Homo-oligomer: A and B are copies of this chain.
Amino acid sequence: MKKHIITLPGDGIGPEIMNSAHELLKAVGEKYNHEFTVESKDIGGIAIDKHNDPLPAETIEACESADAILLGAVGGPKWADSKIRPEQGLLKIRKQFNLFANLRPVTIFDSLEASSPLKQHVVRGSDLMIVRELTGGLYFGQPSERRDGGQSVVDTLTYTYGEIERIVRTAFDTAMSRRKHLTSVDKANVLESSRMWREIVNKVSSEYPEVTVEHELVDAAAMKLITNPSYFDVIVTENLFGDILSDEASVITGSLGVLPSASLSDKGLGLFEPIHGSAPDIAGENKANPIGMMLSVGMMLKYSFGLHEESAAIEKAVNQVLADGFKTGDLQIDRAVTLSTTEMTEKIISVL
């Protein structure tokens, strides 16, 4: 297979973990006989510094002809007070390429039990996937502005029927490939958009008679994620609820650094990134955990290229290295050896 991948290393630890992705792609290509070509472009803070634009036209153009996009991380204190913010690059690329379906698996590695703030019996058996709508809601609704000379302010939560329907369908399809249990999260006792969301979920559900569907209010879901995470299979929700709940859910495993994500468009284009941030405090120190990035490469192989075997091999290699007693500085594993970013990358590749 021949594929062209645009990499967007971004800021902070982004470039370091993107190196891990390069190494991994080279290794997978050699082992399974694929030709992955890789081209690097700017996004985020570094793009502001170089082009005065967090998502330069050059980056957009390159992505347009890509088979998939890998992203490191954006942002950092350097741009905290700048008028244009690095995160705008991320929001713009999502909107530009219609990356409406954000998939965030919360994977439990047995060896990371000590890293979780939750008790072992609570976490046990958890395996959930959050399907977050990524291009609508309060993130992009207009107006979003000050009024009355700064005496009031307004943001707008909008969705079209079609926007809700397509993410709900993605969630049902995801549930069909898993344990067929879908939890739709909303705030239907307050928001009109949530009541429409609920109606659409109920309507689409008739096309998926095998999937058990239920509705949960966002406040109740925020509780249940912690008291009973293994209850969930697939969770589908709107953009901002998804932002909050997926970050919350990530702590279940105690290992933000190991979690990947995919953002998919209806045209088949996908952007893949670890869910952690740019970690400016450890940038350049060869300490960052490359696992979230490497598992994001795994998601790319599976979702964008249909390479299920290769993707599974990466997951298995990560599992094995952790179980063998190796970790990075952010993880807690009893008696495990702490590796650098490059060492961990090599170790995982060596057991592929």
Contacts and interface: CB of A to CB of B under 8 A. Distances in A.
Interface centre among A145, A191, A245 (most CB of B within 10 A): A191
B192 A220 contact: no
A192 B155 contact: yes
A133 to B, nearest CB: 13
Contacts of A85: 189
Contacts of A220: 247
A187 B240 contact: yes
A235 B154 CA distance: 23
A156 B154 contact: yes
Contact of A122 (B117, B189, B193, B246): B117
Interface residues of A, number: 54
B191 A138 contact: yes
A284 B124 CA distance: 34
Contacts of A23: none
A246 B330 CA distance: 28
Interface string A123-160: 00000000000000011010011100011111111111
Contact of A190 (B116, B138, B223, B256): B138
Interface of A: 85, 87, 91, 116-119, 122, 138-139, 141, 144-146, 150-162, 187, 189-193, 196, 218-220, 222-223, 225-227, 240-241, 243-248, 250-251, 254, 256
